[in-house]
Chain A
Amino acid sequence: MTVRDVIEALDLKIVAGEAYLDRDIGGGYVGDLLSCVMATARPGQVWVTVQAHPNVVAVATLAGVSAVIVTEGKAVDLGTTERADREGIPVLCSHRTSFEVVARLVEIGVRGG
């Protein structure tokens, strides 16, 4: 499954990293505490969070996730999108809650581990 498949299935808005949508997604992680994300998210996963500030991109890069989904319609800073484009991290937006997004991800076959 690629980032693009997830975007279509969940009707997500692409706000950054449009050139990297063919990346594979292997599992998912949800969380807003950046230390947790750093320590637990695995390379290749899709990360679901309500955080939308530029440091999200640093964490995503360091953790090596395939894409970030920002939930609850949170506005993504310009600094975040610029940094994400530079680092090659797709940032996708949903107006749904993290819970709903994760439920939908599980439905289409994305697993935790």
Chain B
Amino acid sequence: MGTQPAESTSEAEFTKIQELLYELTVGAVMTANVVTLEAEEEMEAAKELMRLHRISGLPVMCAGKLAGVVSVEDVIRWLERGGQRAAVSKWMTRPARTIHRDDPAIQAVTRFGRTRVGRLPVLGDNNDLVGIVTPGDIMGRLLTILDSRMRSEERTLPESRERERSCLQPGATLQLRYPVAVADFERAGSAATGIKRWLGCLGFEPPLVRRVSIAAYEAEMNLAIHTLQGGTVAAVINDDELVIEASDQGPGIEDIEQAMREGFSTAPEWIRALGFGAGMGLNNIQRCADEFFIDSTAGRGTTVRASFLRSASEPDSQGQPAPTLDPSCESDHKGGAG
């Protein structure tokens, strides 16, 4: 079985997007209802159309054929030179760069990249104008397609989870590793959520999943809050036990005894305002774990390891410790093996 959590890399996504851009035709991503303008109309009319439709450029038509494109840039040039009454044909960009309906979307992307135009009129078979395409159109279409693909993947997930469950054979070891970036509070928590999801898939008892999740979350948050360059949260799962290990390369803890004291925190004020850094993280980990280990050298880094025995009895029928006045609230039934 894979030893990495099944998470798509940005590289894989990039290839998928490229593939899509080759598959899709310009016709599939363009806007078909084009606002156009006749060549003899005035620049004032072009300006008004852009404002009303909130668009940045318009194809200009002459006798039913594309004659050019007038863009916001043209309007600005016109206004800078006094903005006097003038026909669009005098200020428009011509000949317009165009693209064919049957061209692959990648060609439009390349053209947007090379030229600096913000839109391309789309021509059909008889060089008739059939639409217009902007980078925004392509982006929007890609997002819709990727979104619907991801949704259909989600729908098939239960089956693949069933496979995962049957994958962890007796005697096998599953290792998960999650990098944790420092100060990335948007993503922080995703290692713990990932580990929780795996444990659920592997059929662990909810009370144990809960204890492991709390420990993994606190360990992950410590890396996000306190380290210099982030660190790694790893989970190792086998028949007998489950180990969560968080490691980093600094700054290290000066005084472990002090750091272990509940309520002691070195987190800055802005982090506390977000509800983190209450000085309970290490205590929560210790309380949840059957075995707890911490090693730290100032200037070198810290390793925190929490082990959970799969056969360990749970605190009550639901596995939830009874609420107590203790703010961190996991009852100390395991006795902190510090």
Contacts and interface: CB of A to CB of B under 8 A. Distances in A.
A112 B325 CA distance: 13
B189 interface: yes
Interface residues of B, number: 29
Closest 3 CB pairs of A and B: A58-B189, A35-B280, A40-B329
Interface of B: 185-186, 188-190, 192-193, 196, 206, 210, 213-214, 217-218, 221, 274-276, 278, 280-281, 284, 287, 320, 323, 327-330
B213 A58 contact: no
Contacts of B328: 35-36, 39-40
A38 B217 contact: yes
Contact of A62 (B217, B280, B287, B320): B217
A51 interface: yes
Interface string A75-94: 00001000000010000000
Contacts of B196: 61-62
Interface in A83-113: 87, 112-113
Contacts of B287: 39
Given A54-B185, A62-B192, A38 B278 contact: no
Interface string A23-37: 000000000111111
Point out which of A34, A43, A59, A79 has the most chain B C-beta atoms below 10 A from its C-beta: A34
17 contacts: A34-B221, A34-B275, A37-B275, A38-B214, A38-B218, A39-B284, A49-B275, A55-B185, A55-B186, A55-B189, A55-B274, A57-B189, A58-B188, A59-B217, A62-B189, A62-B214, A113-B323
Nearest to B277: A35
Please tell me the size bucket of the interface on A. 20 to 34
B150 to A, nearest CB: 10
Given A34-B221, A51-B274, 12 more contacts: A32-B275, A34-B276, A35-B278, A35-B328, A38-B218, A39-B214, A40-B323, A42-B320, A55-B188, A55-B276, A58-B192, A61-B193
A51 B272 CA distance: 11
Nearest to A83: B186
A40 B221 CA distance: 17
Nearest to A34: B275
Contacts of B188: 55, 58
Contacts of A35: 218, 276, 278, 280-281, 284, 328
A36 B189 contact: no
A53 interface: yes
Nearest to B192: A62
Contacts of A49: 275
Contacts of A87: 193
Contacts of B327: 33, 36, 39-40
A54 B281 contact: no
A40 B329 CA distance: 6
B278 A53 contact: no
A84 B186 CA distance: 12
B315 to A, nearest CB: 13
B274 A79 contact: no
A59 B137 CA distance: 36
